[in-house]
Structure 1
Amino acid sequence: MTESRNRPVALAVWLVIAGAIGWWAAFSLTTERFHLLMNPGSTASCDFSPLVQCGLNLTSPQGSVFGFPNPVLGLTGWVAPIVVGMAILAGARFSRWFWLLFLAGMTFAFGFVVWLISQSIFVLGTLCPWCMVTWVVTIPSFYAVLLHTLRTGALPAPAGVRRGAGKLMGWLPLLAVASYAVVAVLAQLRLDVLGSLF
């Protein structure tokens, strides 16, 4: 695959893959929410233990922050990366305003996920499997879009920052893994995940 800053094929492929995974996680959580609504008192199929479960997250106030189940945001929001990625692969070129708008959406998603991670670990005391899938794809997607907008100048920055962003694109998997490690350490310190396995 050829890659250029004007036609970021690798970024496009990732957006399609991440969008599809994120959408599937949102769809799975939505069906679980329907199941719980139609069968009061039942448990979700992703409830494996008091620590690893979806039910508490879905039925908690944190699970419906905007007055409707959070997964609905995913069902609609994850369509955007898929469409953007497919459009790039088809040869589309986007204006600066479009990239800034897309970055704003990804920034909201990243901030929301960080908040949900903190709520899961420090308030609810659970790790929701499908939620974690969403975390796994949202974090690197935000980094990728942020770095791309910086390196191309869509997000105004000094030349040194642009060059640095271009170099960091190659380290994106490591940035994602480092972020996952931070979440894992916080979960272990707060919830003793390893201890619950034995």
Structure 2
Amino acid sequence: MCLGAGVGLFASLMLAADTLKLARNPNKALGCDVNSVLSCSTVAESWQAEIIKFGGLSFPNAFFGICFYAVFVTVAVVGACNVRLPRWFPIATWWGGLAAISYAYWLMSQSMFVIKALCPWCMTMMFATTVMFMALSHATVTVQKIPRRHRKGLCTYYRMRYDLMVDIVWIFAIIALIFVKEGAAIFS
């Protein structure tokens, strides 16, 4: 979980820096603009890149990613230190991780099917969030003993490492989807 959150934090920082570069120089290509399909600028200029608006201001998603991943790095370190936490904390953390992965996949679907451009930093964050959520789910069940119902089936699922197999198949399925949808254009 710490590794996934750390990679996501780094990608968020890089994307935030690119967002600031783009704000300062709107017509300048970014370093992560490889071609028409792999283009941070195209994604950053879409409305999906700044869905939070408050008081006439819009806030880039990358800034929220910095906060989110920093919190999850902290939670992973606390978990690694075997700090005893109240039961509500791991439940809230899991729900937060579920919200994060849902948001990451919504953004990825918007990139692929609506914006029709892929941001390398955004894809890195989506994969990092996927790995982080998978590790978080594993720890929630095996370490925190949550949920209390269906324990036997879930414990067997994790003890037999079925989760690892599902995780690997899931990640390869996403990669395959990206290459099926945009494969030829990625390498052009």
Q: Give the conservation status (yes or no) of the 8 Å contact 1:140–1:172.
A: no
- Whole-angstrom distance in 1 between the partners of 2:79 and 2:186: 45
Partner letter of residue 167 of structure 2? A
* CA displacement, residues 99-154 of structure 1 (integer Å, 9 cap, x when unaligned): 00100110011101111121111111122111111111111211221233233432
Partner letter of residue 13 of structure 2? F
Aligned-pair identity in percent equals: 22
Deviation, 1:58, is 1.2
Gaps of 5+ in 2: 54-58
2:48 to 56, 62, 70: 62
Q: Give the conservation status (yes or no) of the 8 Å contact 2:3–2:132.
A: no
RMSD: 1.9
* CA displacement, residues 162-192 of structure 1 (integer Å, 9 cap, x when unaligned): 3234326x3444333322222223223322x
Q: Does 1:150 align with 2:136?
A: no
1:77 to 42, 49, 68: 68
Partner letter of residue 47 of structure 2? P
Bigger drift between 19-28 and 175-184 goes to: 175-184
The equivalent residue for 2:56 is none
- Whole-angstrom distance in 2 between the partners of 1:173 and 1:136: 15
The equivalent residue for 2:95 is 104
Q: How many residues align?
A: 182
The equivalent residue for 1:162 is 154
SS at match of 2:9: helix
Gaps of 5+ in 1: 1-14
- Whole-angstrom distance in 2 between the partners of 1:140 and 1:157: 25
The equivalent residue for 1:28 is 14
Partner letter of residue 127 of structure 1? L
Q: Give the conservation status (yes or no) of the 8 Å contact 1:150–1:161.
A: no
1:182 to 164, 173, 180: 173
Partner letter of residue 107 of structure 1? L
Partner letter of residue 130 of structure 2? I
- Whole-angstrom distance in 2 between the partners of 1:166 and 1:51: 38
Q: Give the conservation status (yes or no) of the 8 Å contact 1:148–1:165.
A: no
Larger RCO (CA within 8 A; separation ≥ 6) = 2
Q: Give the conservation status (yes or no) of the 8 Å contact 2:48–2:110.
A: yes
Q: Does 1:137 align with 2:123?
A: no
With the length of structure 2 as denominator, give the TM-score of the two structures: 0.87
